[in-house]
Amino acid sequence: MQQEPDTLTVTDNRTNLTYTIPVSNGTIRAIDLRQIKTGPDDFGLMTYDPAFMNTASCRSAITYLDGDRGILRYRGYPIEQLADNCTFLEVAYLIINGELPTEEELNTWTCQIQRHTMVHENVKKFMEGFHHDAHPMGMLMTTVAALSTFYPNARNIADPTIRRQQIIRLIGKMPTIAAYSYRHRLGLPYVYPDPDLSYTQNYMNMLWRRIEPRYSASPVLSRALEVLFILHADHEQNCSTSTMRAVGSSHADPYATTAAAIAALSGPLHGGANEEVLRMLAEIKTKENIPGFIEQVKAGNRKLMGFGHRVYKNYDPRARIIKQVADEVFEVTGRNPKIDIAIELEKIALSDEYFIKRKLYPNVDFYSGIIYQAMGFTPDEFTVLFGIPRTVGWLAQWQEMLGDSEQKIARPRQVYTGVEQRDFIPMRERGVRELAEV
């Protein structure tokens, strides 16, 4: 029988029935499988996909990623071209609005972001309550969540003007909160945002100004930070972005939603990996210790942090750019000796069958921490440096999700593996159980 192209024919061997399911954009709709039943009482076929290894959860026009060919584009523009030619705020505008800004649009956008870099004085007081050694990601996450109480109208997510206002506020305030958390731990007075500085220069001024009227950032370092921010701005449906979409799908306000995304980012398998890479390099210490470390990884006792990616099965294009940025940064700061260990580690890993077979390459986190450390950041600040620019991607994806008529509250199904129905047993009849068995 001649079948329509762009369809999938499925024969259910349980019933010998055949179904024709449309294929579009290389996908079938999981809901189309629901018609496949063994009888009227059957719920219908579902897909089982732990960790969403093969499930597209949305349609998105923001970021294109081809993991096999090592391609990353924002709104169609190759990441390499954006990193070479744009400022971070220009890329932020592109990601949020879909087009590169004209000069006038960029000026207006920059002014709007700058106008919203200040935080309420009570936010400062709130942050003073953190312990002196509080982790910066914990401070960022909770302070962003607290903003929800400062802007109660933010919950009106159906109003595009109000939505836009929160997007601008969040992009503006993120570096301020991050810098305040940095200085809080050092016991330094907070530095207020300076509207005459660029996004990264202002951040550096809020971090590192001491008694001078204004911290004079090296143009090479502020540009390097700008490039790193561009590279981290979005990465389609990663763990934190999926969290942003899932939490946002319940129509929680954007501050609560962004705080949830920050929580997801903080894990060592996601954004927290950059911090772990530095710890790993510090532990390895010398090139001589690398083979022993690699053996531990191959034996399954350790992970080579900063290696591997769910989607990239080829070199991560961001890691390639970051490696170049490292050379420029070291010209100013002096060479971070950890780079030599990292390069050697990469060389050995990339020629080892274990890593080749599994297509494990350095990811964005492998080299970024080495640069951040050379610039003066401590490892526990690194994930914050990921979170500031990723806020742009989270918000763009959140906005896209809210405008997508196909999206509803995220609510996956499960395959129940527990006990079938059983009758209640009164306490006196339950006997004694070893604690370890509970």
Task: Give residues in contact with ligand CMC (CB under 6 A).
Answer: 238, 269-271, 273, 297, 303-310, 358, 360, 363-365
User: What b/e readout covers 261-294, taking b as 16+ CB neighbours within 10 angstroms?
Assistant: bbbbbbebebbbbbbbbbebbeebeeeeebeebb
Rounded to whole angstroms, how far apart are CA atoms 259 and 143?
A: 8
Residue with tokens 């540009």: 223
Q: What counts of helices (H) and strands (E) characterise the chain?
A: 17, 5
Nearer residue to ligand CMC within complex by CB, 276 or 400 = 276
CB 236 → ligand CMC: shortest distance, Å?
10
**Residue 305 or 384 having the CB closest to ligand CMC:** 305
Distance between CA atoms of residues 146 and 126, nearest Å = 9
Kind and range of the H or E run holding 239: helix 239-248
> Which tokens belong to 263?
């929580």
Phi, psi (deg, nearest 5) at residue 9 = -105, 125
CB of 178 to ligand CMC, least distance (A): 18
CB of 294 to ligand CMC, least distance (A): 9
Listed in sequence order, the residues at least 6 apart from 210 whose beta carbon sits closer than 8 Å to its beta carbon are: 188
Task: At 392, list the tokens.
Answer: 């742009």
Identify which of residues 132 and 357 has a Cβ nearer to ligand CMC in the complex. Answer: 357
Q: Based on CB atoms, which residue is closest to ligand CMC, 194 or 344?
A: 344
Name the closest residue to ligand CMC (Cβ): 308
Contact 9, 18 (CB under 8 A): yes
The three-state secondary structure class of 362 is strand
If the CB atoms of residues 386 and 398 are measured against ligand CMC, the closer one turns out to be 386
What is the smallest separation between the CB atom of 229 and ligand CMC, expressed in angstroms? 15
CB-wise, 179 or 360, nearer to ligand CMC? Answer: 360
Active site members = 270, 309, 365
Secondary structure string (H, E, C) spanning 24-48: ECCECCHHHHHHCCCCCCCCCCCCC
Q: How far is the CB of 364 from ligand CMC (least distance, A)?
A: 5
The single-letter code of the amino acid at 26 is G
Residue nearer to ligand CMC on the CB measure, 254 or 271: 271
Cβ neighbours of residue 396 closer than 8 Å, sequence gap 6 or more: 62, 95, 96, 234
44 to 34, 242, 407: CA distances (angstroms): 4, 26, 22
By C-alpha distance, which of 428, 322, 317, 342 is closest to 385? 322
Comparing CB distances to ligand CMC, the nearer of 256 and 297 is 297
Residue 415 · residue 48 · CB < 8 Å = yes
CA–CA dist 213, 182 (Å, integer)? 19
Instruction: Give the nearest distance from C-beta 238 to ligand CMC in angstroms.
Output: 5
User: Concatenated DSSP letters for 264-308?
Assistant: HHTSTTTTTHHHHHHHHHHHH-SGGGHHHHHHHHHTTS---TTB-
C-alpha span between 178 and 205 (Å, rounded) = 12
Kindly state the smallest distance separating residue 347's Cβ from ligand CMC, in Å. Answer: 16
Tell me the closest approach of the beta carbon of residue 131 to ligand CMC, in angstroms.
Answer: 27
